[in-house]
């Protein structure tokens, strides 16, 4: 790899032997910047202290020094943003604007991490981002995480094989374990001890595929100097554990939104120590060792029974440390987790709490909450992978500075934890920038610079668009929510509905009319900058959000027309609603990131035959719609939890639902009888099992379709 047009040099003041091999970073540049990689020289920085990078050079010969391969990539991205004014976002880039010869920085530049722990990915990410991504997709995901300075990545893939191997040593057959382990898209909640079995069994092909993928991911993270954060073992056991092990001390965990939860093996039972040792042995045999292991006792309503939580925590930590001396236990800060008894029972140096609520509520004191345990400032800016734009960004800038500067602060990192990653690139870019000098302090200044490097050049209309966005979708306050409202187009139809997902904000969280002006400004961006994938993605994303917000304007009007029995006005309004949804689907179809076919294609590619293709396709479709069985969807409220705006999903299900609903209301007005009841679960499940082919290539011109959209919405008039 070292011979691919790039030389390795060593600064004269450093030891002759480099601190690490720069080849993995070089290989990443070959993937990310194949036309320009030869103009970069990467240098390994030795020494102790915070991660850091330096940038210097002459035209066509840019020298990046860094303290790890991943930090070298952070230096490359900083150079691109601040010197050349282009960027590689997640998703979208402006690399089309790069000159043939890369310019030199005016003077040497430096950057350093202000916190050591820079964590990424939610427990749910593999389910809501796409559980069937192949290695090239994961390779790019890792590259983009490294570019933005992340150094710790949650990696649960392949843990199903660890559990399978573990419990076949404790009296289970392969068939019994396979029936307990869900299909891939639903495994995150099985690992959280929330549910089991849905979509099972996976084929031996899938076990092998995911293990091979996980091994590549772990190897790449290590090669880049990043830490794979692997799942730990805290006591989950398969069904029928008690009959196989009479006298085992089990605590029933009850139900979780319609699902029966797996039992918990009391860590005081000697069996726990044996199972945990086997788990860690099998995990190490497959994926090697790490220094960070993620697990949560009693997640979202789990029951301790008569087990003292503190004693359980000490024993869980003892099992982890027996297998991996010096490892840290990573816990999610969420709801009442981690319990105070758990934190108090452990040495603070043994744990790291990745807070998911730093920007959501007011009045937080994490040093008091977690008794001085180290923690990260974290955000969950979307749930279920929603197609929502925006974040509590102003809260990030103010609160992060306050918490870092607080006397006795235990804050030691950041945690980027959307439930589904790879959306809202501005939020990702700003949040990860918090971990590096210079730390962003002013939203308007940061968004003005972002507008320039996002599209590869300065443009007054791009600047104006992002100023508006910084004042609306990215200026949402703390108090109750950390994400924006979802679209009522995505909701199960009702005249009373105010959210698509059960646990989403019920009202607009910013000024919608002011937000709309961002679309108008973005349409005026110079044609030379519209060729970038970043612009094409953003112009669709922002117009999509504006169109989705329109549902909250129309629905009260539709409700009033129905109450007044004004059939003509009702028909006109519902026609407008359906026309908007048709336009939305056409708009989404113009960018590959908003295609249902793109979401489904990896699962189909992973299948070994038609029967497995149907199984995996349903795994992917169901998690977007019914999520699970009727009990979870209807009684538990999980239906549409992962709602999102994808071409094919909007036209194939969401629009069909609303059209049918409006027809029943019109029939009711005509007949004077109550509207016919609709079994939404049956309708949604029928869509999920239909296996209708969906396009994987975009069609239509994004700029023109957005122009058509704003005309439909009448939002860009002088």
Of the candidates 448, 475, 509, which is a domain's last residue? 448
Helix ranges (H only) for 80-203 are 125-129, 135-147, 159-168, 174-180, 187-191
* pLDDT higher than threshold 50 for residue 15: no
Beta-bridged to residue 355, according to DSSP, are 333
Which domain-ending residue is among 448, 467, 482? 448
pLDDT of residue 566: 96
The rounded Cα 690 to chain-centroid distance in angstroms is 27
Helices 69-79 and 135-147 sit at what angle, rounded to 10 degrees? 70
Local structure of 275: helix, strand or coil: helix
221: CATH:
3.20.20.80
Residue 630 lies in a domain: yes
Indicate the pLDDT class of residue 9, thresholds 50, 70 and 90. Answer: very low
- Compute φ and ψ for 229, nearest 5 degrees: -95, 110
Confidence at residue 226, expressed as pLDDT on a 0 to 100 scale: 98
Query: Is pLDDT above 90 for 2?
Result: no
In this predicted structure, the answer to whether residue 10 has a pLDDT above a threshold of 60 is no
Asked whether residue 666 is domain-assigned, the answer is: yes
> Mean pLDDT across the chain, nearest whole number?
95
CB-based contact 370:328 (threshold 8 Å): no
Q: Are residues 558 and 574 in the same domain?
A: yes
Alpha carbon separation from 94 to 84, 528, 538 (Å, rounded): 10, 11, 12
Expressed as residue numbers, the domain containing 399 is: 117-448
Identify whether residues 286 and 386 lie together within a single domain: yes
What is the CATH classification number for the domain harbouring 101? 3.30.379.10
Q: Are residues 98 and 136 in the same domain?
A: no
431 CA to centre of own chain: 13
For residue 249, tell me if it sits in a domain: yes
Does residue 525 form part of some domain?
no
Phi-psi region of 200 (alpha: psi -120 to 50; beta: other; left: phi over 0): beta
Residue 149 and residue 107 share a domain: no
Residue 718 located in a structural domain: no
Residue with tokens 């794979």: 228
**Same domain, residue pair 122 and 70:** no
Element (H, E) at 42: strand 40-44
Q: Are residues 123 and 56 in the same domain?
A: no
Q: Render pLDDT for 299-310 as a digit per residue (tens, 0 to 9).
A: 998 999 999 999
CB 91 within 8 A of CB 537: yes
In this predicted structure, the answer to whether residue 612 has a pLDDT above a threshold of 90 is yes
Q: Are residues 103 and 126 in the same domain?
A: no
Both 106 and 187 in one domain: the answer is no
Question: Is residue 5 very low, low, confident or very high in pLDDT (cuts 50, 70, 90)?
Answer: very low
Q: Characterize the bridge pairing of strands 250-251 and 263-265.
A: antiparallel
Domain count, the chain: 3
Q: What is the DSSP string of 280-322?
A: HHHHHHHH---SEEE--TTTTT---TTS-HHHHHHHHHHHHHH
Collapse the DSSP code of 212 into the 3-class scheme (helix H, G, I; strand E, B; otherwise coil) and give the result. helix
Mention every residue, 6+ apart, whose C-beta is less than 8 A from residue 360. Answer: 380, 392, 478, 480, 481, 482
Reported as a single tens digit per residue, the pLDDT across 407-427 is 999 999 999 999 999 999 999
Q: For the CA atoms of 438, 440, 444, 448, what is the dihedral angle to 10 degrees?
A: 50
CB atoms within 10 A of CB 12: 6
CB 427 within 8 A of CB 407: no
**Are 186 and 623 spatial neighbours (Cβ–Cβ below 8 Å)?**
yes
| pLDDT tens digits along 501-560 | 999 999 999 999 999 999 999 999 999 999 999 999 999 999 999 999 999 999 999 999
Residues 89 and 145 placed together within one structural domain of the fold: no
Examine the fold and report which residue of 112, 137, 160 is the final residue of a domain before the chain moves on.
112
Q: Which of 341, 346, 418 is nearest to 387 (CA)?
A: 418
pLDDT digits 0-9 by tens, 111-166:
999 999 999 999 999 999 999 999 999 999 999 999 999 999 999 999 999 999 99
Examine the domain organization and report whether 52 and 121 are in the same domain.
Answer: no
68 and 136 in a common domain? no
Do 162 and 30 lie in one domain? The reply is no
DSSP letters for 358-385: TTTSSS--HHHHTTT--EEEEE---STT
Q: Are strands 109-112 and 52-58 parallel, antiparallel or unpaired?
A: antiparallel
What is the CB neighbour count within 10 angstroms for residue 335?
A: 10
CA 129/CA 144 separation, integer angstroms: 15
**Who wins on pLDDT, 382 or 6?**
382
Tell me, yes or no, whether 483 lies in a domain: no
Secondary structure (H, E, C), 549-616: HHHHHHHHHHHHHHHCCCHHHHHHHHHHHHHHHHHHHHHHCCCHHHEHHHHHHHHHHHCCCHHHHHHH
Share of the chain above pLDDT 90, in %: 95
Three-state secondary structure call for residue 118? strand
Note the pLDDT tens digit of each residue in 482-499.
999 999 999 999 999 999
694: pLDDT strictly greater than 60: yes
Q: Is residue 336 assigned to a domain?
A: yes
Does 420 fall in a domain?
yes
The CATH number given to whatever domain includes residue 561 is 1.20.120.670
């Amino acid at each position: 790899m070292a011979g691919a047009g790039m030389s390795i040099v060593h600064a004269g003041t450093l030891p002759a032997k480099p601190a690490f091999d720069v080849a993995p970073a070089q290989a990443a540049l070959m993937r990310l910047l194949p036309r320009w990689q030869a103009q970069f020289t990467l240098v390994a920085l030795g020494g102790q202290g915070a991660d850091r990078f330096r940038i210097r050079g002459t035209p066509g010969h840019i020298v990046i020094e860094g303290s790890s391969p991943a930090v070298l990539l952070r230096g490359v991205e900083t150079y691109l943003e601040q010197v050349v004014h282009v960027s590689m976002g997640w998703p979208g880039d402006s690399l089309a604007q790069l000159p043939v010869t890369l310019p030199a920085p005016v003077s040497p530049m430096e950057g350093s991490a202000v916190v050591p722990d820079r964590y990424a990915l939610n427990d749910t990410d593999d389910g809501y981002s796409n559980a069937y991504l192949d290695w090239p997709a994961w390779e790019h995901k890792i590259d983009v995480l490294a570019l933005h300075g992340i150094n710790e990545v949650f990696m649960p893939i392949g843990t199903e094989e660890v559990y399978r191997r573990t419990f076949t040593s404790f009296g289970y057959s392969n068939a019994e374990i396979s029936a307990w382990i869900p299909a891939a898209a639903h495994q995150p909640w099985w690992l959280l001890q929330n549910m089991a079995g849905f979509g099972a069994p996976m084929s031996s092909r899938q076990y092998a595929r995911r293990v091979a993928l996980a091994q590549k991911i772990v190897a790449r993270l290590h090669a880049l100097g990043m830490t794979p954060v692997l799942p730990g073992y805290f006591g989950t056991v398969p069904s029928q554990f008690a009959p196989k092990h009479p006298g085992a001390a089990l605590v029933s965990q009850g139900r979780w939104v319609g699902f029966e939860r797996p039992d918990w093996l009391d860590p005081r039972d000697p069996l726990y120590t044996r199972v945990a040792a086997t788990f860690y042995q099998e995990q190490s045999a497959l994926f090697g060792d790490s220094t960070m292991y993620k697990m949560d006792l009693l997640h979202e309503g789990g029951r301790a029974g008569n087990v003292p939580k503190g004693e359980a925590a000490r024993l869980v930590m003892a099992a982890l440390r027996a297998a991996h001396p010096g490892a840290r236990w990573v816990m999610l800060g969420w709801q009442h987790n981690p319990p105070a008894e758990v934190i108090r029972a452990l040495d603070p140096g043994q744990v790291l709490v990745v807070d998911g609520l730093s920007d959501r509520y007011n009045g937080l004191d994490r040093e008091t909450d977690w008794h001085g345990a180290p923690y990260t400032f974290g955000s969950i800016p979307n749930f279920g992978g929603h197609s929502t734009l925006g974040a509590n960004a102003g809260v990030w800038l103010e609160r992060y500075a306050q918490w870092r500067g607080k006397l006795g602060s235990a804050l030691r990192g950041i945690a980027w934890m959307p439930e589904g990653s790879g959306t809202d690139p501005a939020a990702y870019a700003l949040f990860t920038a918090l971990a590096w000098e210079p730390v962003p302090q002013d939203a308007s200044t940061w968004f003005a610079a972002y507008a320039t490097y996002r599209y590869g050049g300065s443009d007054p209309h791009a600047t104006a668009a992002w100023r508006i966005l910084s004042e609306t979708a990215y200026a949402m306050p703390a108090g109750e929510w950390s994400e924006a409202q979802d679209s009522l187009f995505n909701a199960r139809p009702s005249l009373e509905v105010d959210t698509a997902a059960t646990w989403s904000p019920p009202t607009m969280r910013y000024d919608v009319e002011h937000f709309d002006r961002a679309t108008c400004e973005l349409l005026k961006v110079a044609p030379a900058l519209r060729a970038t994938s970043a612009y094409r993605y953003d112009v669709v994303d922002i117009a999509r959000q504006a169109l989705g917000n329109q549902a909250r304007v129309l629905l009260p009007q539709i409700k009033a027309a129905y109450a007044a029995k004004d059939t003509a006005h009702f028909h006109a309004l519902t026609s407008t609603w359906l026309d908007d949804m048709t336009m939305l689907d056409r708009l989404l179809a113009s960018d590959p990131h908003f295609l249902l076919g793109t979401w489904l294609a990896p699962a189909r590619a992973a299948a070994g035959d038609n029967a497995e293709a149907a199984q995996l396709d349903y795994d992917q479709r169901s998690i977007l719609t019914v999520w699970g069985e009727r009990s979870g969807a209807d009684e538990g409220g999980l239906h549409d939890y992962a709602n999102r705006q994808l071409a094919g999903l909007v036209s194939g299900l969401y629009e069909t639902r609303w059209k049918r609903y409006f027809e029943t209301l019109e029939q009711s007005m005509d007949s004077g009888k109550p509207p016919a009841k609709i079994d939404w679960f049956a309708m949604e499940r029928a869509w999920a099992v239909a296996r209708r082919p969906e396009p994987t290539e975009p069609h239509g011109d994004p700029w023109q379709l957005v122009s058509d959209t704003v005309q439909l919405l009448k939002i860009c008039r002088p």
